Amino acid sequence: MTEPSVSNIENKPKNELSVSRIENNPKYHELVRSRDVLAWTLTALVLIIYFGFILMIAYAPGLLTQPISAGSVIPVGLPVGVGVILASVVLTAIYVTRANNTFDPLIQQIIQEASK
């Protein structure tokens, strides 16, 4: 699993020049914007899901502790808690897929254009 790493293209003497080239490259701003949107949206989702769960525990425990069906001892909170764990894994997978497919190629292009 030793894929060519973008960081291998590092070139010290040209570094400062590359930085200003990158800062002037619209693709770089596109990368920063799209990654920020994705990262902060997903972060907000995790926070909403998790603190939704926590606030229910704090202020409406009755919702979570009622049984999932009449006669069952399993409280609603159990599938909800497991759901929060699964949602975290799914959101993590979404970010990794998006980053692998869209951000990495974009970074490659930006670095190549800067080291020309």
Partner 1 sequence: MRTTGTLSKALRGVGLLIAAQLTWIAAAAAQTPAPAEATPVNWHAVVMFIIFVAITLAITYWAAMRTKTATDFYAAGRGITGLQNGFAIAGDYMSAASFLGIAALVYFNGFYGLIFSVGWLVGWPVILFLIAERLRNLGKFTYADVASFRLKQGPVRTMAAIGSLIVVIWYLIGQAVGAGQLLHTLVPQISYRVSIVIIGALIIIYVTFGGMKATTWVQIIKALLLGGATLMAIGVMAHEGFSFNKLFSDAVAAHPKHIEIMQSVVPIGAKANPIESVSLGLTLMFGTAGLPHILMRFFTVADAKAARKSVLYGTCFIGYFYILTFIIGFGAIVLVANHPAYVVDVTKDVLNLKGGSSMPAVYLSHALGGDFFLGFIAAVAFATILAVVSGLTLAGASALSHDIYANVIMKGKSTEAQEVLVSKMCVVGLGILAVILGIMFEKQNVAYIVALTFSIAACANFPILLLAVFWRGLTTRGAVLGGYTGILGSIILLTIGPTVWTKVLNMGPAIFPYDFPTFVVLPAALIVAYVASVTDKSASAQKERAAFGPQMVRSETGLGAEVAVAH
Q: What SS3 string covers the chain?
A: CCCCCHHHHCCCCCHHHHHHHHHCCHHHHHHHHHHHHHHHHHHHHHHHHHHHHHHHHHHCHHHHHCECCCCCCCECHHHHHHHHHHHHHHHHHHHHHHHHHHHHHHHHHHHHHHCC
With a CB cutoff of 8 Å and minimum separation 6, the contacts of 91 are 42, 45, 46
Q: Which listed residue (17, 37, 48, 96) binds partner 1 by CB under 8 A?
A: 96
Indicate whether 48 belongs to the interface with partner 1 (CB under 8 A).
Answer: no
Interface mask toward partner 1 for 2-21; x: CB under 8 A: xx-xxxxxx-x--xx-xx--
Indicate whether 24 belongs to the interface with partner 1 (CB under 8 A).
Answer: no
Q: Which listed residue (85, 101, 102, 105) binds partner 1 by CB under 8 A?
A: 85
Binding site for partner 1 (CB under 8 A): 1-3, 5-10, 12, 15-16, 18-19, 22-23, 28, 31-32, 35, 38-40, 42-43, 46, 50-51, 53-55, 57-59, 61, 64-65, 67, 72-75, 77-78, 81-82, 84-86, 88-89, 91-93, 95-96, 99-100, 104, 107, 110-111, 114
